[in-house]
Amino acid sequence: MTAHVKPKALTDYKPRDFRMLIDGAWTKGAGVIERVAPGHGSVVSRYPAGTRADAERAIAAARKAFDDGPWPNMTGAERSNILLRAADLIAARADELAFLDTIESGKPISQAKGELGGAVDIWRYAAALARDLHGESYNTLGEGTLGVVLREAIGVVSIITPWNFPFLIVSQKLPFALAAGCTTVVKPSELTSGSTLVLGEILLEAGVPAGVVNILTGTGPEVGSVMTTHPDVDMISFTGSTGVGRLTMANAAQTLKKVSLELGGKNPQIVFPDANLDEFVDAAVFGAYFNAGECCNAGSRLILHKSIAADATARIAELARKVKVGDPLDPATQVGAIITPQHLEKIGGYVAGASQAGASVALGGEALDLGLGQFMAPTILSGVTSDMAVAREEVFGPVLSVLTFETTEEAIRIANAIDYGLSAGVWSRDFDTCLTIGRKVRAGTVWMNTFMDGASELPFGGYRQSGLGRELGRHAVEDYTETKTLNMHIGARTNWWAR
């Protein structure tokens, strides 16, 4: 059996009651959503079940805060200072935030702490960009013309986030929208709203004025649908499944809102015979089982050169057996719980489907009964072919599919033969091989001799059905702006009538 750490019951933990944040006030809402910890099986949080009316009030507050100010009219330096204060307060409350993400999502506590460190860095990076947002000027248009291109905050932004990286993903969106001068309505997943609500407290304390950040809890169909259709919303920034992303875009089309989408992935790692296999094997295990595979960037498809496939698969299985699965609160745990029992069933369905289609289970393949919560054993499927669902669809669980190739062209064809294009990895000691794959694979990020590294400076996003637009990087603030041209005339104007 896989190495495991049995969860300890949360007998002394009193479920935390949260409120929503609308126009600077904490409000209860009409009903209650209870969150059962996926790794411990007991209720840990209660949030208000937001309604359409709550969503309309939040959007009205954001609209007023944008139209009347002061947030969009502050200097970049003033907004930057508030974002820096927020970063310091997030750092000061990092243990509390990481604990909430761990008990609500089931991710390991050591990993959640790492994500908080990454989030603090993003808030600081966005604060720096707030002072550098600028347009262009054209002094080359002739004696009588000066052109100035302004960047203006786009307005009210709806931010909708998923459950797999609750604090990290809101941090990839909100500080950049705020840096640009936008006002926002934020909806975290109904499964993991706690840390985003604590962020609301932090932002008020940091000096963000009432109405600039409103945080709604509740379900997507009830609250999210208003956020994506309301005429007073100017832009939607969404991270989640490709299906709901498609719906979001269709909703936005009614009033032609700008849309930014970060969606699913089915990310290949292509491995050549000259690769450093020791390094790769570790990256393969990390890429597949980090966050229990509930990760848009998961390296869920290995495309191995035939000559090394058997050896590499055996070594990955050997290492994967040692990965500690279990109690998310134990500092030694590397793979935590699966988000819901229904999701665990869905993952099991993919494994069963692949076996029926001719793949072999080289490791795991079943749920792990650890007494409390729901867990899945790290799984490896070998003999997978491109036509199988497990090779084309996002499993969002700890399931690694192994495919093989013989020529570079074939590897590229297999890598690109799916609807997604979020990220990819290539392993070779040959510079030409890495660059050829880097150029030909259609994905927003290509890692070379590493996997799932990142930095606030590096843009992130997908090709094709993995999304639209990019987050992070130096252009991230510009995404939340409109472009305005000031076309200025100098001196006497040539009269149209007399021309």
Residues near ligand NDP (CB under 6 A) are 160-164, 169, 187, 189-190, 219-221, 224-225, 228, 239-241, 244, 247-248, 262-264, 296, 394, 396, 422, 462, 467
- Which H helix or E strand runs over 166? helix 166-171
In the Cβ-directed half-sphere of 217, how many Cα atoms lie within 13 Å?
A: 32
Amino acid code (one letter) for 58: A
Choose, from 296, 394, 434, 471, the residue flagged as catalytic.
296
Choose, from 262, 294, 394, 471, the residue flagged as catalytic.
262
CB of 39 or CB of 383, closer to ligand NDP: 39
CB of 26 or CB of 463, closer to ligand NDP: 463
Residue 375 neighbours by CB under 8 Å, 6+ apart: 4, 39, 325, 326, 335, 336, 337, 338, 367, 368, 369
Apex 467 CA angle, 153 and 446, nearest 5: 110
- Assigned token pair, 369: 């009964």
CB of 63 or CB of 187, closer to ligand NDP: 187
CB of 170 or CB of 437, closer to ligand NDP: 170
How near is the Cβ of 387 to ligand NDP at its closest, in Å?
21
CB of 54 or CB of 190, closer to ligand NDP: 190
Q: Three-state secondary structure along 335-352?
A: ECCCCCHHHHHHHHHHHH
In DSSP notation, 84-132 reads: HHHHHHHHHTHHHHHHHHHHHH---HHHHHHHHHHHHHHHHHHHHHHTT
Is 295 catalytic? The answer is no
Q: Is the dihedral of CA 233, 239, 243, 244 positive or negative?
A: negative
Between CA 351 and CA 138 the distance in angstroms is 59
How near is the Cβ of 35 to ligand NDP at its closest, in Å?
11
Question: For residue 404, which of 381, 422, 437, 379 has the smallest C-alpha distance?
Answer: 381
Q: Three-state secondary structure along 257-274?
A: CEEEEECCCCCEEEECCC
| Preceding amide of 70 cis, omega within 30 | yes
- Which H helix or E strand runs over 145? strand 145-153
How near is the Cβ of 300 to ligand NDP at its closest, in Å?
11
Is 296 catalytic? The answer is yes
Burial readout 21-39 (b: 16 or more C-beta within 10 A, e: otherwise): bbbbeeeebeeebebbbbb
How near is the Cβ of 141 to ligand NDP at its closest, in Å?
40
Between CA 343 and CA 55 the distance in angstroms is 28
How near is the Cβ of 115 to ligand NDP at its closest, in Å?
12
How near is the Cβ of 339 to ligand NDP at its closest, in Å?
8
Distances, alpha carbon 105 to alpha carbons 191, 328, 401, in Å: 7, 9, 24
- Residue 146, judged by CB atoms within 10 A of its CB (0-12, 13-18, 19+), counts as middle
In the Cβ-directed half-sphere of 293, how many Cα atoms lie within 13 Å?
A: 29
CB of 263 or CB of 283, closer to ligand NDP: 263
CB of 299 or CB of 467, closer to ligand NDP: 467
Please give the DSSP secondary-structure letter assigned to residue 383.
S
CB of 59 or CB of 308, closer to ligand NDP: 59
Burial readout 89-102 (b: 16 or more C-beta within 10 A, e: otherwise): bbbebbeebbbbbb
Measured from each CB, the residue nearest to ligand NDP is: 220
How near is the Cβ of 176 to ligand NDP at its closest, in Å?
14
How near is the Cβ of 488 to ligand NDP at its closest, in Å?
41
Which residues have a catalytic role annotated?
Answer: 262, 296
